[in-house]
Amino acid sequence: MVVCSIDWGAIATFTGGAIALYISWQWRNQKGSEVIANEANKAFKVLSEIEILSLSILKHFNNDNYKHLVITYTEYQDKYEILRDSILLILYVVNDSSLKDKYSNFNNTYENFSKVISNKLEYDSFNDSNIDELTRNIDDIVFTKHHYSNELKIILSEYALFKKRYKNT
């Protein structure tokens, strides 16, 4: 007399499928974290290059070296586009309000810095007194931008080192 008949083949099939599904989800989350970490690492490096370029721009700006200012500022803008694309990709995938706020602060100082440099480049002569007021606080802008850059680097390093992770919902 058979009281209970268990189909071990069916149980093994369902168990194997469940394990495969679990591994697939884990792999997907890990791969997502890896992509975000790589993008954060890239953004961190570009942010460091931007800081070096901004100091070079400040030097050329203060020395009235128009030719080098134009070259360095163009490179600075190109690097900023790479940074912006990386940050926007991370923000698209990860809903991190802290990263969004720090990037917003950095972006505002970037725009102020760019406005001052662009205004100076619009003039044929660096000795025009009309732009003195616009350029007077460039040192403060660079200092503030450096501060926000460091805050942004802290968050990016957390993603790059897998301290913060992508979570697929």
Mean predicted lDDT score pLDDT of the chain = 82
Range of lowest pLDDT (5-9, 11-15, 43-47, 127-131): 127-131
Return the minimum-mean-pLDDT range out of 24-38, 66-80, 142-156: 24-38
pLDDT at 130 over 60: no
Q: Is the pLDDT score of 13 beyond 80?
A: no
Contact 36, 163 (CB under 8 A): no
Task: Check pLDDT > 70 for residue 166.
Answer: no
Q: What is the pLDDT of residue 101?
A: 94
Give the span between the Cα atoms of 75 and 121, in whole angstroms: 15
Query: Residues 77-84: contacts with CB within 8 Å, 24+ apart?
Result: 77/114, 79/46, 79/49, 79/50, 79/53, 80/50, 80/110, 82/42, 82/46, 83/43, 83/46, 83/47, 83/50
| Residue 138 domain-assigned (yes or no) | yes
The boundaries of the domain holding residue 91 are: 39-160
Task: Evaluate if residue 44 carries a pLDDT over 80.
Answer: yes
Predicted confidence at residue 161, as pLDDT, reads 87
C-alpha dihedral, 131 to 137 to 141 to 146, nearest 10°: 130
Q: Is residue 5 part of a domain?
A: no
Is position 68 within any domain?
Answer: yes
The predicted-structure confidence for 47-80, as pLDDT tens digits, reads as follows 999 999 999 998 888 787 888 888 999 999 999 9
Alpha-carbon dihedral sign for residues 79, 82, 88, 93: negative
In Å, how far from its chain's centre is CA 111? 16
CATH number at residue 78: 1.20.120
Task: Tally the domains of the chain.
Answer: 1
More confident residue, 159 or 33: 159
pLDDT band at 162; cut points 50, 70, 90: confident
85-118 per-position pLDDT tens digit: 999 999 998 888 999 999 999 999 998 888 888 8
Q: Do the domain assignments include residue 23?
A: no
In a domain, 99, yes or no: yes
Rounded mean pLDDT, 115-133: 66
d(CA 43, CA 90): 10
* In a domain? residue 9: no
2 belongs to a structural domain: no
Q: CA 155 to CA 169: how far, in whole Å?
A: 22
In a domain, 165, yes or no: no
